[in-house]
Amino acid sequence: MRRWCSDFKQCWEGAALSVVGMGGLVLGILVWQEGGESVAALLAAGAIAMGSFAYWLVRRKAAGKPTLTDPDLFKSALFRLGISGQMCQQIALGGTMIALPIFLQMVLEYNAMEAGLSIAPLSLSMFAVALLAGKKAGNRRPSGIIRWGFVLLSIGLVALIPIVPEAESGWALFVPLVIAGSGLGLLVSQLNNYTLSPISEEHVSEAAGVNSAAGSFGLSFGLAFAGAIMLATLSFAFTNMAESSAVLSPAQQQHVATVLEDDAEVMSNSQLEKLLVDQPKDVQAEIVRINTDARPIALQVALLIPIAAALAGLFISFRMLRRPDPVSTGAGEGLAFG
């Protein structure tokens, strides 16, 4: 932050509004994911709190009073584009990091170590490309590198969609993960400096704080939203398939719908078979079949969240290209937040 408030009582309203705003949005999605009530109220409270926080900042700035962050930062188009790109990057990363481990552990029945090794190409390629791009960028436009980052990220994530139903091991994900990780590496190498380099030394600390908050919120949002969409899709697909089944009786179909409405959960077939041990063999086989067919659909739909974020980031990158590159003040160089 540019300066800490000398008297916390002057700024507690803003701190409370920011916490309620971001927390309400993420918590609302998590409650929806768990099948809880008052989801709309939580989301509305989060949105209202965020709007109130923005109004609070502008009002206190106009009155010459201390603020948590200077709202004039957002007058910079480059800063707005930069934090928007940062948020899209983190939503895409968060959504991917919730969908793929579930796929590996629940569909391929990997343990935590095997799942971690299978998604290692994403993080390793991101790290390697970030280092390489940081050193070899030369005179290339940062906005152009950011554009290619979102292009590669989008291609890698889209390539996972047809692979999910057919994959028999984590190796099937290797090439798409390297492509997506390379895109993330390009973004990591440029986005922070793009966002912070034109900021004056006086404001760089609070600008970095806003940039970090945007990235953290994006990561949390991506994790929560992709997970919620996955479970909602699983519940919908499983219920529809159960209702279309010629094996399950109407009572059994209704029981499946009731259970999923109260507690949808992605399960491996081994876990499901243990729960169905007291059921007739034909019912066991039918529910396992439905589970096998429904899970890939849920995972494919969940991947649409990071894909949408990557495409939104790509749109933002084209807007970056229309503007002159930021002229560095030197104050924000080397700062890495998010």
Contacts of 92 (CB under 8 A, 6+ apart): 153, 157, 184, 222, 306, 307, 309, 310, 313
How far, in whole angstroms, is CA 324 from its chain's centroid? 29
Residue 88 has pLDDT above 90, yes or no: yes
Mean pLDDT over residues 314-324, rounded? 92
Confidence band, pLDDT 50/70/90 cuts, at residue 21: low
Residue from 9, 292, 91, 338 nearest 190 by CA: 338
Of 21-30, 103-112, 136-145, 290-299, the poorest mean pLDDT is in 21-30
Residue 207 neighbours by CB distance under 10 Å: 28
Fold of 74-338: Growth Hormone; Chain: A; (1.20.1250)
Kindly tell me the sign of the dihedral angle through the C-alpha atoms of 319, 322, 325, 331.
negative
Contacts of 333 (CB under 8 A, 6+ apart): 193, 196, 197
Residue 335 has pLDDT above 60, yes or no: no
Question: Which of the two residues, 155 and 274, has the higher pLDDT score?
Answer: 155
pLDDT at position 328, please?
58
pLDDT at position 37, please?
60
Percent residues over pLDDT 70 in the chain: 72
Domain boundaries of the chain, sorted by first residue: 1-68, 74-338
Confidence band, pLDDT 50/70/90 cuts, at residue 259: low
Percent residues over pLDDT 90 in the chain: 26
pLDDT at position 127, please?
93
d(CA 92, CA 96): 6
pLDDT at position 2, please?
45
Residue from 78, 70, 159, 123 nearest 322 by CA: 78
pLDDT (tens digit per residue) in 10-19? 556 666 766 7
- Length of the chain (residues): 338
Sequential DSSP letters for 5-23: -SSGGGTHHHHHHHHHHHH
Confidence band, pLDDT 50/70/90 cuts, at residue 298: confident
d(CA 77, CA 237): 43
Residue 1 has pLDDT above 50, yes or no: no
pLDDT (tens digit per residue) in 119-160? 999 999 999 999 988 777 767 888 999 999 999 999 999 999
d(CA 267, CA 260): 12
pLDDT at position 307, please?
97
